[in-house]
Amino acid sequence: MNVVNVMPMSHFSPPRLPSEPHISVLAREVTRALDVATDGTYVDVTTGAGGHTRLLLDAGAERVIGLDRDPAALALARQRLARFGSRASLHHAPFSDLPRVLAALGVDRVQGIVADLGLSSMQLDAGERGMSFRTQGPLDMRMDPTCGETALELIGRVDDEDLTEIIGRLGEERRARRVARCIKQEFAAGRLLDTLDLRRAVVRAVGPARVGGIDPATKTFQALRMAVNAELGELDNLLATAGQLLVPGGVLAIISFHSLEDRMVKRAFADRLAWAPTTKKPVTASEEELAQNPRSRSAKLRVARRLPSLGELS
């Protein structure tokens, strides 16, 4: 298998891999949207456990180049995709490294790119990653544990105003100022040590969950995770560069779970000089998929074909 490690991994020991990998959402819809060609090269910038990558290979893609920031997910993907040999080319890298990965492989353009944004079930269930308030774990939240700033380090670095902005914008938490103040107070007092401490700080600010409502810490955890991993910046980078990496008529398919991400994709695809959306509204999960995988409830798939430039038309 062709594997290029774009980021150093020598000091990272992946945690025990899950026995039940993450279930890829909107799998049939993505495969159909990409209209896989047997001589085509495709990119999955969120390989995870290899779900969408495997589907593209099974559909006949000559080659799929997979990227992921999570070394543990890549380790699992390598196991699951081993039967495809060199047709599966996996790389430890974020979206923003896609042009560099393709250049290193000698690939100029690809026929399709797919991105399944947000958090995987594997990451959410791994307590040592600190992604969830349902289990005790360190305040880490990094998708790539080999580099970058942890959530605790971010909380310690920013001031109250910056933390308020992060929680308000990325978490869409209307009580962001109160939440940020309580978190900073707990941090200053040395009482912010793990995920359960962070949840307690949020509950102190906004009160316990209402019956039938989401947990009060959900939006804050989401906001901190997105900030730690620069998720909106990575998506913006992908949207800005995808057109240059796709052949004319090539397809970009993006699954989002957050309203901010969906708005960014919708706005990018509104450029009718660059993109031709294949549907007027985002594709959502069927009732059958919702019953099998509740995580798919908030998934929205937007798909567009890259239009040729004036130079390519001449």
Residue that the structure tokens 């991993």 belong to: 229
Return the residue matching tokens 């559909």.
59
CA distance 151 to 114: 28
Is 90 exceeded by the pLDDT of residue 20? Answer: no
pTM for the predicted model, two decimal places: 0.89
**All structural domains of the chain:** 3-122+231-313 (3.40.50.150), 145-228 (1.10.150.170)
CA distance 121 to 142: 14
Q: How many CA atoms lie within 13 A of 310 on its CB side?
A: 1
Spatial strand order of the sheet with 63-68 comes to 3-5, 88-92, 63-68, 41-44, 110-116, 246-256, 300-306, 275-277
CB < 8 Å & 24+ apart, contacts of 228-232: 228/141, 228/142, 228/148, 228/149, 228/150, 228/151, 228/154, 229/69, 229/141, 229/142, 229/143, 229/144, 229/148, 231/117, 231/118, 231/261, 232/170, 232/260, 232/261, 232/264
Query: What would the pLDDT profile of 60-99 be if each residue is shown by its tens digit?
Result: 999 999 999 999 999 999 999 999 999 999 999 999 999 9
Percent of the chain residues past pLDDT 70, beyond the cut: 90
Q: Which helix (H) or strand (E) holds 260?
A: helix 259-269
Q: Is the pLDDT of residue 18 over 50?
A: no
Report the Cα 169 to chain-centroid distance in Å. 18
CA pair distance 313, 22, nearest whole angstrom? 42
Residue type, 127: G
Question: 306, 312 in Cβ contact below 8 A?
Answer: no
SS3 of residue 180 by DSSP: helix
Q: What is the Cα–Cα distance from 152 to 190, expressed in whole angstroms?
A: 11
pLDDT digits (tens, 9 = 90+) for 160-205: 999 999 999 999 999 999 999 999 999 999 999 999 999 999 999 9
Cα gap 245→226, rounded to integer Å: 25
Q: Which two tokens stand for residue 245?
A: 């990496």
